[in-house]
Structure 1
Amino acid sequence: MSMKRISLRAGLALGLGMALLPAAGVSSFAPAAFAQSAPASAVSAPIQTLYAALDKVQKSSASFADRVQIVGPAVDQAYDLDAVLKASIGVRYQSLSPDDKQKLLSAFRDFTIARYISSFKPGAGARFTITPKIEDSPVGGNKIVNTFIGSDDSQPGTPVSYVMHNGASGWRITDVLLAESRISQAAAQRSDFSSTLSSGGVSGLINVLERKVKTFSQG
């Protein structure tokens, strides 16, 4: 029986209502595989950890809660979530209290993990490739790691690049750049986050994130 390819959305529109990465859109899938064209460097190692976790949950039949336990530590290791949240909120972030920042960070972490799990369900069959060349970012000291997410060996897949910053905990992701046009995830989210904060405050944004987590857990 022939297998259909995963439907990868080239536009990859982001925001509170969209998945971070391409979601499966057909009923049958290509076999899952994990590939990297060169040994991981210190810069790309966190991304390999993340992709290995996503590949693991694709091959599992685990519950949503069990998949959180697989993907959660990988997200913590791969991302500087505090930096991503700060960039996603913008200048308003500086005026938040330390307590509000911590509450938002916790909700944002749950949202990030749930969004990944929703996008890479068991049996999804996405294939991950990390390219060996590390680019210099226009922002001083940062690096860019280019990857592709596809459904078989014949196509490179959808480009997904990561902005990496070397901080106290080593190299971590501070932004995700999607498709050939390299759409910034943080910039794309900023409008949604800012609008929600303006209308509902910190509790309003947390409520929206929590509702999204619930939706992702039921999908």
Structure 2
Amino acid sequence: MCHEPDLYARNCLQDESTIMICRFSPKVTLSLLSACLLTGPVAMTALSPAALAQTAGAASPADAASAVTPISALYDALKAAQKTGKTAQQRATMIAPAVDRAFDLEAILRRSVGVRYNSLSPSDRTRLLGSFRQFTIARYASSFKPEAQAAFTVNPQTRPNPTGGLIVDTTIGGTDGGDVTPIDYIMTNGTSGWRITDVLLNAHISQVAAQRADFGEALSQGGASGLADHLDSKTAHFLHD
């Protein structure tokens, strides 16, 4: 649920599936970011702080640089889109290449769907991945409008993720120097290099876990086709100026 002060309430719309669709006001706040970057009931997604404790040594400079590069490129694309993208569709076109490079969308989708992913047919997986890709791009395009005035920082020093890979720490905030929100990325090194496999809001709220609750409901009601339709509907909403 959205708990914005009255000043920001008009920027948050709650649709029929309890997914928050947000439009940034000039001042970016934690609850705005949580609504825009996550789906599903956020209260269900908090990870134990102990689960995020650092349990390994620092990454090599080469690995750290390789893990940070996709995040920096994503943020560069978001900055360019919010500066020159007049419509959501224009911003989506600008953002798409950076999203494709930065995210392991198939891995995120598989974890968001859960064990039922293994029983999906190849055609269902292909359709779902396409819908999820468009949904992810459109969500960013909707969030980072020109009036968002979001400012991004990326910590070049990574830290180990207890379950494997690295964590890249970043913040997103307003250009007015007000509150900033920690947005951390879990990076996994695969055949395509270091890519995002989860996003942690405020350092501990998992996007994958939040999506699992929402996606599970859509799957239960309509199967893979129902989930794809659900994502397509959200994409259309995000891209509607």
TM-score category (smaller protein): 0.7 to 0.9
Structure holding more helix per residue: 2
Work out which of the residue numbers 143, 146, 153 in structure 2 matches 1:119: 143
Residues 100/125 of structure 1: CA separation in 2 closer, same or farther (3 Å cut): same
Q: Secondary structure, in 3 states, of the residue corresponding to 1:145?
A: strand
Deviations 1:104-149 (A, max 9, x none): 0000000000000111012311000001220100113x00000000
2:51 is matched with which residue? none
Residues 214/16 of structure 1: CA separation in 2 closer, same or farther (3 Å cut): farther
Task: Give the drift of 1:5.
Answer: 2.7
Work out which of the residue numbers 204, 208, 212 in structure 1 matches 2:234: 212
1:30 is matched with which residue? none
Query: Aligned equivalents of 1:184 and 1:124: distance in 2?
Result: 23
RMSD: 2.1
1:184 is matched with which residue? 206
Residues 4/144 of structure 1: CA separation in 2 closer, same or farther (3 Å cut): closer
1:170 is matched with which residue? 193
Task: Give the drift of 1:186.
Answer: 0.3
Query: Aligned equivalents of 1:175 and 1:7: distance in 2?
Result: 21
TM-score for both structures, normalised by structure 2: 0.75
Query: Aligned equivalents of 2:109 and 2:28: distance in 1?
Result: 30
Structure 1 unaligned residues grouped into runs of 5+: 19-39
2:219 is matched with which residue? 197
Q: Is 2:171 the counterpart of 1:148? A: yes
Q: Percent identity?
A: 49
Task: Give the drift of 1:6.
Answer: 3.1
Query: Aligned equivalents of 1:79 and 1:66: distance in 2?
Result: 20
Query: Aligned equivalents of 2:28 and 2:115: distance in 1?
Result: 38
Work out which of the residue numbers 81, 88, 97 in structure 1 matches 2:112: 88
Residues 147/86 of structure 1: CA separation in 2 closer, same or farther (3 Å cut): same
Residues 11/52 of structure 1: CA separation in 2 closer, same or farther (3 Å cut): closer
Query: Aligned equivalents of 1:55 and 1:44: distance in 2?
Result: 17
For residues 19-168 of structure 1, what are the structure 2 equivalents within 5 Å?
41-140=65-164, 142-152=165-175, 154-155=177-178, 157-168=180-191
Task: Give the drift of 1:10.
Answer: 6.8
Task: Give the drift of 1:8.
Answer: 3.8
1:28 is matched with which residue? none
Task: Give the drift of 1:64.
Answer: 2.6
Q: Secondary structure, in 3 states, of the residue corresponding to 1:62?
A: coil
Task: Tell me if the contact between 2:26 and 2:174 (Cα under 8 Å) persists in the aligned partners.
Answer: no
Structure 1 residue ranges, 4+ long, deviating more than 6 angstroms after superposition: none
Q: Secondary structure, in 3 states, of the residue corresponding to 1:12?
A: helix
Task: Tell me if the contact between 2:152 and 2:170 (Cα under 8 Å) persists in the aligned partners.
Answer: yes
2:10 is matched with which residue? none
Q: Secondary structure, in 3 states, of the residue corresponding to 2:65?
A: coil
TM-score for both structures, normalised by structure 1: 0.82
Task: Give the drift of 1:12.
Answer: 1.4
Query: Aligned equivalents of 2:142 and 2:33: distance in 1?
Result: 18
Deviations 1:62-96 (A, max 9, x none): 33322222101100000000000001001110111
Query: Aligned equivalents of 1:156 and 1:133: distance in 2?
Result: 22
Residues 207/154 of structure 1: CA separation in 2 closer, same or farther (3 Å cut): same
Deviations 1:179-218 (A, max 9, x none): 14x1110011101111110110111111111111111111
